[in-house]
Chain A
């Protein structure tokens, strides 16, 4: 135990300089990348350098291509996520709280959830044609299952004594759902939403490569056709950056205000 304790003071200044702490991993990553490309082992079309990628990034921002493609992709992602979540949430609570529905839907959900969202592309194109409709459809199919699955897990993990405590305080079914089931499932629901968005991104890019003529996935695919390797990386990194921003600006603040504040979720085990 004592061997672990002296580490805290050493980390003190490190913990406070949060900007350094946030940026350091990326700086190190870029340095390693630059070092590798300086070795000139591979031609730049196979391994573009950070500088080339930065130039391509500036060009794509300047021409408006990157932002318009990102815009198209994010709108598809939003609709796919929204529709997927709008079906998964009520169905999840219904299955979690009503055993007849659970027994009916559970085999179907189990059968379908192993099928990757991308496997739906052929039907998505047949049903919706090339374009946003097909892309949104496969995002829905990818977002739906992680949200549903995690929500069901969350409902299973609710401590029965909390429901019983609310009953002895006079709570009926509606009050139990609102004041106990909803907040108790929030940690798992947030996990489901994170996974849903992550799966959604995968399907978004794959779907746009095959079934679309714009969007960030199409940009990556298109750049490859023209051997514009730096632009491929621009597309890939844009997805990463957008996800980081979503995580830091939306998901984490929600968690900090809810599940972390309630002590239901921690940053890591060392804080206990």
Chain B
């Protein structure tokens, strides 16, 4: 194992699963390798059904690859673990726990005492801007607040890497932009290592240090692009930045071909 290979090392992941329509094995991922360095924010984009969510689930240990290795901080992993925090598109908060109890859940599992848990929860609830909603249950929160709570819950567990599966797809456009700005600020201040899956090109460029492009199914890495834009990033500045538009145009060409219009702009 080469620890210098990065915080997260994904090596040669192949995955196929049974397709009931054809009665055959359908290839989903074809030798995907990705490295995410310490404190780096990497997005994986690709067309619908390219296997990017499957890739993230494999990294989380929720799905098993046919071949290939995942290692976190040089240690091979195959099962789910607290070293890889995950934020799901559908929030996945526990309805029977308050915001605070949801955020305290990871520390609770690690055996942290009551005061320590409360202190951790307080810090991360304030970090995501949910102060005042500690005692509310998830059904009393808006979609944006639920996703903030889910981010706080994942971060409070102090994971080595944060995995995010299209976390802002279910919220309205204005909330989404706010959450994206908050996420860049938080990941910068907490120095979080993030692997982020999305199909929205602008979101990937806005958030990331690097964008990895997967091809149509079976997913293969077809590009790995460094995004060299200054941080902190804000939408009203970046949308006027020629480099931002240029990155988006390049990725659009990679994904949809030279003349295509990306889905997000239709």
Q: What is the interface of chain A, defined by CB distance below 8 A to chain B? A: 159, 161-162, 164-171, 175, 179-180, 183-184, 186, 258, 261-264
A184 to B95, CA, bound (A): 8
List, in ascending order, chain A residues with CB within 8 A of B154's CB: 168-169
Identify which of residues 47-85 in chain B touch chain A, using a CB-to-CB cut-off of 8 Å.
Answer: 60-62, 80-82, 84-85
Cβ contact within 8 Å between A264 and B96: yes
> Given the interface contacts A180-B94, A258-B96, A262-B95, does A168 sit within 8 Å of B80 by beta carbon?
yes
- CB pair B105–A167 under 8 Å, yes or no, is no
> Are B137 and A170 closer than 8 Å at their CB atoms?
no
Alpha-carbon gap, A169 to B60, bound state (A): 10
The residue in chain A whose Cβ has the minimal distance to the Cβ of B88 is A161
Please determine whether B137 and A261 come into contact, CB atoms closer than 8 angstroms: yes
A166 proximity list for chain B (CB < 8 A)? 94, 105
* 10 cross-chain pairs, A with B, having the tightest CB-CB distances, nearest first: A263-B139, A170-B82, A167-B80, A165-B92, A168-B86, A183-B96, A169-B106, A161-B92, A262-B96, A262-B95
| Chain A neighbourhood of B105, CB < 8 A | 166, 169, 179
Q: Would you call B140 and A169 a contact (CB within 8 A)?
A: no
Check if B117 is an interface residue, CB within 8 A of chain A. no
- CA of A183 to CA of B109 in the docked complex: distance in angstroms? 17
Across the interface, do A167 and B62 meet the contact criterion of CB distance under 8 Å?
A: yes
Which of A179, A180, A183, A184 has the most chain B CB atoms inside 10 A of its CB? A179
**Quick one: given A161-B92, A262-B137, are A170 and B157 in contact (CB under 8 Å)?**
yes
> Cβ of A179: which chain B residues have Cβ within 8 Å of it?
94, 105
> Is there contact, CB below 8 Å, between B139 and A170?
no
CA distance A168 to B61 in the complex (A): 8
Nearest CB on B from A247, distance (A): 22
Instruction: List 25 contacting pairs A-B, 8 Å CB cutoff, sorted by A.
Output: A162-B92, A165-B88, A165-B92, A167-B61, A167-B62, A168-B82, A168-B84, A168-B85, A168-B163, A169-B82, A169-B153, A169-B154, A169-B157, A170-B82, A170-B110, A170-B157, A175-B109, A179-B94, A183-B96, A261-B137, A262-B96, A262-B137, A262-B139, A263-B95, A264-B96
B16-49 residues at the A interface, CB under 8 angstroms: none
In the complex, whether B181 has a CB less than 8 A from a CB of chain A is no
Q: Which residue of B lies closest to A182 (CB)?
A: B96
